[in-house]
Chains A and B, each alone.
Chain A
Amino acid sequence: MNKIVMSREVTALVAFGILIASGLFFNIVPKTVFSHIGLSLYRMMTGYIISIIVGTTLAVILGMNIYIRTAVKPLLSFLMSIPTIAWVPLLLIIIGINEQSIIIAIFLGSFFAVVFNTLEGFDNVPQVYFRAASVMNYGRLHMLLRIAVPASFNGILVGWKLGIAYSWRALVGAEMLGAATGGLGYLAFASRKFYNLGMLLYTLAFIGLLGYLLNRFIIASIERKTVRKWGIT
C-alpha cells in the first residue's frame, strides 16, 4: 500500500521536475511566480469552498425527494457538459472583467459536479439502511443526516474530487481569458506574449503540481478518514 502511494508521488514529482528543468534551460525561476501562485490559490479556495458548501447542502436538501432527484439530474448532466471555460465570456459580459468573474467561474466549475454526484450517491444508498433505521423510529432529519449522507459519502467525495479538477481548469482558463492581471493562467498567457518560454514552462509545472497537491491532500485525507475506513469505496 505504502509503496504504491510512494511511486505515485514520485512520478508526479518527476513530471514537475522535467518541466522545471526545461524552464531552467531558458532562464532561472523568477520570484514573481510565487505571488502569482498565491493569488491563484486564494481565488481557487474561495470559489471552491463556496461551491462545496452551497452545492452539497443544496443537493442534500433536494436529494431526499426522489422525484426532484429524477428531474434535476438530466438538467445537471446538461449543464456539466458545458466546459466551464465556455461560461467565462458570458461572465465577462454580465459581471465584468474583475475578480468576481473568476470566482464565479471557479464556483460553476465544481458546483454542477458536486450536486450531480451527491444526488447520484443518494440513488445508490441500499434500501436496507433506510429499513433498518425506520424500525428504530428515525424521523426525516435523522434519516437524512444519519443515514443518507454517510451512506452516500462516496458519491459526495467523487463530486468534491471532480470539483477540484474542474475548478482548477476553470480558474486557469478564466485568468487566461483576460479576466485577471495576475495568477498562473495570466502568467502563462503573458509569457506567450513576451515569448518567455522558461516562464511558460514554470507556469505549467506549477499548475500541474498545485492541482495534484490539492487533490492529494484535501480529498485523499478525507477519504482515508471516512470511506476507506468504512470500506464503502
Chain B
Amino acid sequence: MGNNVSVVCTNVTKNFGELGVLEDINLTVQPGEFAVFLGPSGCGKSTFLSLVAGFDFPSSGNIQVMDMDQAKPGKHVGFVFQEYALFPWKTVLGNVESGLLNLEKAERLDRAMFYLEKVGLEDFANEYPLRLSGGMKQRVGIARALAYDPDILLMDEPFGALDAQTRKYMQQELHRILEGFQKSVLFVTHSVLEAVYLADTVYVMSKRPARIVYREEIDLGEERHYTGDRFLQYREEILHYLNAQTGISE
C-alpha cells in the first residue's frame, strides 16, 4: 500500500444533537499496531470505532484511513462486532465466504477454509451459527473479518458477551491467530487485563464526551502472561487512570 500510517484522527469530535460523545480525539495508529481503547461504559468507544469504519461521520475533525482522506466503509476494514452479527441464514462457511464474492468459487472455498482452520472451526463449516456457542460464533466473526485480508481490524468489545473462562481463552487465541499477519487493530474493551494482554498501545478514554486522557505503550517482550511483574505494573498504572474516570476509589 505504501502507507506509513493506518489511521490518523485529527481533532475528531462527535455530537448527537446536544449530546457530546467524542471530543477532540487525536491519534495515529501505525501499520501492524494493536491499539486498545479503554473507558467507562457508554463513554463513546463504540461510536469512535463506527467513525473509523465509516458507518457514521465525525461532527468535526477528520479521520484518515489508509489512503483515504475520509473514513468510509470498505474492504480495507474488517469489523468484529460484540453481538457477532453473523448472518444466521448462512452456514459457518457461507459467513466466512460472504466477503469473498468477487473470487472464483474454488478460490473462495480455499480461502474461507484456510481461515476457518486458523480459528479451529473447519469441522463446523456446514453448521448454522444457531448451533454454535458464543466463543465459536466470535471465532467465525474473526475468520469472516480476516478472510478478505483487510489492512485494519476493528473490534468492538468482541469478547464482552463471553464468560470469563472463554474470554481469557479467546484473548490468547486472538493473539495466536493474528500472529504472522501485519494487521492494524483497533480494539475496544473495558477490561484492563484484556487491554494489557493484547495491546501494543493502550488509550484510556474519559467519561462522555470522551477524550483521550492517557496513552501507554505496552512492551511485555516474550513475557505475555497475566501474572508477570511487568504485566501487573502496567495493569496498576492503567487502572489508576481508568478509575479516576469511573469514579472508583483505589
Interface residues of A (CB under 8 A from B): 126, 128-129, 131-137, 142, 146-147, 150-151, 153, 226, 229-232
Contact = CB atoms under 8 A, between A and B. Distances in A.
B85 A150 contact: no
A149 B53 CA distance: 24
A57 B81 CA distance: 31
A119 B22 CA distance: 35
Nearest to A232: B88
A136 B78 CA distance: 8
**Which of A132, A147, A151, A231 has the most C-beta atoms of chain B within 10 angstroms of its own C-beta?**
A132
Interface in B138-165: 144, 148, 150
Contact of B89 (A128, A131, A142, A150): A150
20 contacts: A128-B81, A128-B83, A128-B85, A131-B85, A132-B81, A132-B144, A133-B98, A135-B78, A135-B99, A135-B150, A136-B101, A147-B87, A150-B87, A151-B87, A226-B89, A229-B128, A230-B88, A231-B88, A231-B130, A232-B89
A128 B101 CA distance: 19
Contacts of A136: 75, 98-99, 101, 148
- Which 5 residue pairs across A and B have the least CB separation, nearest first? A231-B130, A136-B99, A150-B89, A134-B73, A230-B88
Interface residues of B, number: 24
Contacts of A146: 98
Nearest to B80: A132
A231 B89 CA distance: 9
B74 interface: yes
Main secondary structure of the interface of A (DSSP, over half): helix
Given A226-B89, A231-B130, A232-B89, A131 B55 contact: yes
Main secondary structure of the interface of B (DSSP, over half): loop
B229 to A, nearest CB: 40
Nearest to B141: A132
Interface in B49-99: 53-55, 73-75, 77-79, 81, 83, 85, 87-89, 98-99
Given A136-B98, A137-B74, A131 B88 contact: no
Nearest to B95: A132
Contacts of A232: 88-89
Contacts of B78: 135
A137 B98 CA distance: 10
A226 to B, nearest CB: 7
Contacts of B98: 133, 136, 146
A153 B75 contact: no
A137 B74 CA distance: 5
Nearest to B55: A131
Contact of A132 (B74, B75, B85): B85
Nearest to B73: A134
B87 A131 contact: no
Given A128-B83, A142-B101, A230-B130, A135 B77 contact: yes
Contacts of B83: 128
Contacts of A129: 85, 87
**Which of A133, A135, A147, A231 has the most C-beta atoms of chain B within 10 angstroms of its own C-beta?**
A135
A132 B89 contact: no
Contacts of B74: 135, 137
